[in-house]
Structures are given as structure tokens and as C-alpha cells.
Amino acid sequence: MTEIIAQFKLDYGTFKLDVDLRLPSSGITVLFGHSGSGKTTLLRCIAGLQHAPQGFLSINGNLWQDSDNKLFLPTHKRSLGYVFQEANLFAHLTVLDNLAYGLKRIIQKPNTEKFNQIIELLGIEHLMERMPERLSGGERQRVAIARALVLNPDVLLMDEPLASLDSQRKQEILPFLTRLHGELNIPVLYVTHSQQEVAQLADYLVLLANGNVQAAGLLSDTLSRLDLPQAQDRQAASVWHVTVIEHEAAYRLTRVAFAGGELSLPAIDAALGISLRIQIYARDVSITLEVAKATSILNVLPATITNIVDDEDGQSVVRLQVGNSPLLAHITRKSAQLLALKTGMKVYVQIKGTSILN
Amino acid sequence: MLSLADIDALWLTFKVASLATTILLLLGTPLAWWLVRTQFRGKSICNALVALPLVLPPSVLGFYLLVLMGPRGLVGKLTTELGMGTLPFTFAGLVVASVLYSLPFVVQPLQTAFTAIGDAPLEAAATLRASPLDTFFTVVLPLSRSGFLTAAILGFTHTVGEFGVVLMVGGNIPEKTRVVSVQIYNHVEAMEYGQAHGLAGVLLVFSFLVLLLLYSTLKTNPVSPLK
């Protein structure tokens, strides 16, 4: 059984949590929601830092909570790593001793090679003898991430690890997180309220509101669901996984392939065969009925309309399928009517801009 | 200067205060921790009981202890049953009285230190596989060093300075219960002002130096609460 099953019911009077989730046991699952949506409470229930009176939690077949059978494993007996919003390092211990604190307490024999790999991955080799008070906010958070990772836990729980950092420090840590993803095979549950972090990190997305799960699914599927407020947001975007296939040095362009076709992007400094994540804002996508012969837009792709929803501001949100990749387009309702767009129609999408996420 | 009886009184005071402080740290630590962490409804009652010696006249505390530990008191009957005799006017009785009298001076600084630590380091330790007891010894104790220093010094000096309780419970028996404060009283009663000056001076200088040590240590080594 390689999956995470998390069911919790909790009632604090003004706040109720009621979730029933099955999550993949690999990759990064982002728990997304506004403050008060219950995302941190859910994470704390998974860690056992909060005891939901009714709960069932199984991580890859290991039972951590089963309230029907009065089972509740205390936090220190759960094979997890937890990264708090504040780094929460032990002020009386050096960086090295902070890292060693958990290692001394696990039964599993510490793997020196892996330890060094993590230290190097997070770029904290030179900080080992320092006391936490002499670290910058970004360094502290990197040490905290390393401290959780060296335990080689069954699951890594991260509670808005970037929220307390300024945008520059965020950019300092995000690359480490995406590298983690590639190099360590530990499932991550990541809490955030930042759409940027969702687009950049999530493989699987859980949307929470008022203590309930609104939607859960693969990132591209969930982002393009028109019944969710996300699709109507001005910042609505689709995220595609692409592979670099060709550099057109003369034009300073790079050709990439995605599930359903190819795209030209501004030159990317990446080797052929590298996988990337790109983001396409819905407002950058326009729709034509025929291939325009004369257009300055390079990326024109055949697509099929799978759904259309009108919002209250004269905007139509169109969900399309380009090959196997879902795509969102925001167009005016007037255009939608002039073109007589309908579900099932074959059209062409023009993509005016994309941004690389990693 | 100091007579042999004065030295005896000093030595006895030192013994009582050291023993009382040790016992207070051993009992006060779990008590303070429990008072900080518990959700128990009767917590305020416990807090008030712990703080009572702060406001009660020492003679009142001494009076109740005398009655309780005397031959007809509950504690007295128990100690007699156990073959220990009764505690008033003995060294043991003096230590028990000192422990109760100085309790808030040890428990309150510890409560302050434990409260300052907050939940965050405890939760971090739990996610790093440390059991609650393990966390207490490896995280809470080191992070509340300054609280322990304050508690130990205040407990010790306050015990050294007691008078009313000692007089009620301990009496005035040389080498057994005659501590410095009582000895000074004796000197004054006997109009031996020179002797009184000697002992009083020792106590004054000692107390000042200890407090100086406390405040200078806390100033240069503040244990910053973790954030």
C-alpha cells in the first residue's frame, strides 16, 4: 500500500476540519488555501502535533492514527520530518548539533553519504559550527530543512517554510526545494497560500477552504477545473511539463516538447532533454477558428474546447485540451459569442507568453 | 571577631540553605513544569498555594507548621508512626520549614523560564523523535539555565535570611537549629552589638555578592528564548 490516507474530523466550535484524502506517496503534494482554511491544522494532525478526536492516518501502510481502535502514535514515534514556518532551531545547539539531534534518536543507522549529500544540496557545509542566532533567516530555514531530511523520513511535512522570508530569501530556497524533489525520493506535504509556490512545486494539489477539501488532483487537472475559483482568478494559469528538444541560437529561441505538441520559448540555458515546468497565464491565451496565416505569434496550436464558463465581469473562461495537456484561456464574453464557441469545437490557441518556473 | 558559636551558626545556616535549595530544585522543577503545562482547572489554586509564603507573615507559616508537625498534628503523628519522632526543634524540621518558606522563590523563576521557552522547541524536538522526558532534559533544561540560576540563588539566599519561621519551628538550639539570623538576635538581646555587627556584616556582604553574581551573569549571558 504505497499511498497516504488521511481522514480527520475536528471541531473547535468556530473552526471545523473535515477531510478525507488519499494522496500519492511520491512527489510534492501542496495543501493550498487561505488562512483559516485548515491547511496547517491538517498538517499538524498528520504530524500528531494536534490530536483530532476522530481520525485515520496511514502512511504507506504504516498506521499512525486509527481512532476507532484507539490508536494514536505520538509524534516522536512517527517517521516524519517537519519544517515549521519559523525555522525553530534549538538556540543552545550549533548547526551540526541541531542536525545530529534527530539522527541520534533514530534506530536506522545514519547514512554518512546521504547526510553529506543533503548538506551539500542545501549549501550549508560552511555553517556547521555556527550558533542559530548567527544565521540569516534563509540559512536558518535551510538548516531546518536539512535537519528534517537527514532522518530519511517516510514523509516530509512543510508548513509554509518560505512564509517568514522576504522574496529574495524565497528565491534563495526555492531552487533547493525543486532539487530536493528531483534528488530525494521522499514524499512531501507542503502547506502554502502562495500561488507561485503551487505552480513551482506542486505535483499534486489539494485545495482547502473552511476546513473542507474543495478539490484534490494532479496539478494540471486541478488548476484547470472551471468549477473552482482558481480558474477565474486574474492570475489563473496552466502549468505544463516540457522537455528541451532544440536550441535555435540564431533566433535566441528554444524548442520544447509537451504532451501534445511543441512550443517555441525564449532561449533557455538548459541542455537538450532537460525537463522543465512552464506556466501559461490564461490571459496570455487567445482563440482563433482557423490558423492565422499572418501572425507574429509563434505558438499556434490546435485545441479542443472542453468547457466554457462565463463570470460576472464579462469574461469567459475557456478550458481547452491541447493534445493531452489542459489549457485555460480568458477571453471576453463578446469574443466568445462572436466566434460562437461551444464545448467540443476544434479551434486554435495562440500563446502570447510563457514563463519558466524552474 | 566571630566566636565559635557564630561560626557554628554560619555553618548550620549554610547546611540548611544548601539542603533546602537542593530539595527545592528537585521538587520545584517538576512542580513548575506541571504548573506551566497543565490544563488542569484547579491550576490557579495551586499557583496561589505556591505563592502563599510570599505574603504570609513567617510567624503564621511557622505556627501552622509547628502545629502540623507537633505530636498532635497530622504530620507529627505520621513521623512518630514512622519512628522519626516529631520534627519541630530538629535540623530536619528546620529544612522542611525552609523548603516551604522558600518554595515560591524557586518555583516562580522556573515557571517564568519554562513559559518563555514556549511550545515551538518542544514540537521541534517531538518531530525529531525525542520523547517528552528526553525533550525535557535535552531542550528545556539547557534553554532555562538562567531560570535555574535565578531559582537556586533566590532559594538559597532567601533561606539564609529567614527568621520568623526558624524561631517558631526550630527554636534556638546551638548547633542544631540556631542559624545566623537567630544568633544575631541573641547577640542583640544580650547587648553584644560588636558580635552582632560581625555576623550581620558577613550576611550583608554575602547576600550582596551573590546577587551581584546573579545579575552580572544574567546580563552577560542572557539565554535568548528561541524564536
- Strand A62-66 and strand A54-59: the pairing is antiparallel
Q: Please report residues of A whose CB lies closer than 8 A to that of B116.
A: none
| Residue B56 within a domain | yes
Run of H or E residues at A192: strand A188-192
CA B48-B54-B58 angle, 5° bins: 120
pLDDT of A172 above 90: no
| Residue B27 within a domain | yes
pLDDT tens digits for range A100-147: 999 999 887 778 888 998 898 888 999 999 999 999 988 999 999 999
Torsion of CA A245, A249, A253, A259, to 10 degrees: -10
> B120 vs A77: CB contact, 8 Å cut-off?
no
Q: Which residues of A touch B (CB under 8 A)?
A: 47-49, 74-77, 80-82, 84, 86, 88-92, 101-102, 105-106, 132-133, 147-148, 151
Domains of chain A by start residue, with CATH = 3-223 (3.40.50.300), 237-356 (2.40.50.100)
Q: Of A91, A148, A151, which has the smallest distance from its Cβ to B224's Cβ?
A: A91
The interface predicted TM-score (ipTM) is 0.85
Asked if B175 and B5 count as a contact pair (C-beta separation under 8 A), the reply is no
- Residue that has been written with the C-alpha cell 528565491 in this structure: A171
Percent of chain A as helix, strand, coil, to the nearest 5: 25, 35, 35
Nearest CA in chain B to A76: B129
Run of H or E residues at A4: strand A3-11
Q: Per-residue confidence at B222, pLDDT binned at 50, 70, 90?
A: very low
Asked if B110 and B100 count as a contact pair (C-beta separation under 8 A), the reply is no
pLDDT of B227 above 60: no
| Beta carbon pairs, A and B, within 8 Å | 72
| Residue B225 within a domain | no
pLDDT of B226 above 50: no
Confidence at residue B219, expressed as pLDDT on a 0 to 100 scale: 64
Round to whole Å and give the CA distance between A344 and A303: 10
pLDDT of A62 above 90: yes
Nearest CA in chain A to B139: A90
- Residue that has been written with the C-alpha cell 557564630 in this structure: B6
| Residue B226 within a domain | no
pLDDT tens digits for range B49-101: 999 999 999 889 999 999 999 989 888 999 898 888 888 888 999 999 999 99
Asked if A286 and A331 count as a contact pair (C-beta separation under 8 A), the reply is yes
The cell for A234 is: 486574474
Q: Per-residue confidence at B112, pLDDT binned at 50, 70, 90?
A: very high
% chain B with pLDDT above 70: 96
| Residue B227 within a domain | no
Q: What is the mean pLDDT of residues A209-230?
A: 87
pTM, rounded to two decimals = 0.85
Average per-residue pLDDT for chain A:
90
Round to whole Å and give the CA distance between A257 and A244: 7
- Residue that has been written with the C-alpha cell 541541531 in this structure: A98
Round to whole Å and give the CA distance between B13 and A11: 57
CATH number at residue B146: 1.10.3720.10
CA A347-A349-A354 angle, 5° bins: 165
Asked if B148 and B217 count as a contact pair (C-beta separation under 8 A), the reply is no
**Smallest Cα distance from A4 to chain B, Å:** 18
**Smallest Cα distance from A144 to chain B, Å:** 10
Total domains in chain B come to 1
> A90 vs B131: CB contact, 8 Å cut-off?
no
| Residue B33 within a domain | yes
| Residue B148 within a domain | yes
Asked if A300 and A350 count as a contact pair (C-beta separation under 8 A), the reply is yes
Nearest to A147 by CA among A98, A91, A207, A110: A98
Round to whole Å and give the CA distance between B226 and A213: 34
Nearest to A347 by CA among A294, A278, A271, A286: A286
Q: Which amino acid is at A318?
A: V
Q: Provide the residue range defining the domain that includes B187.
A: 4-220
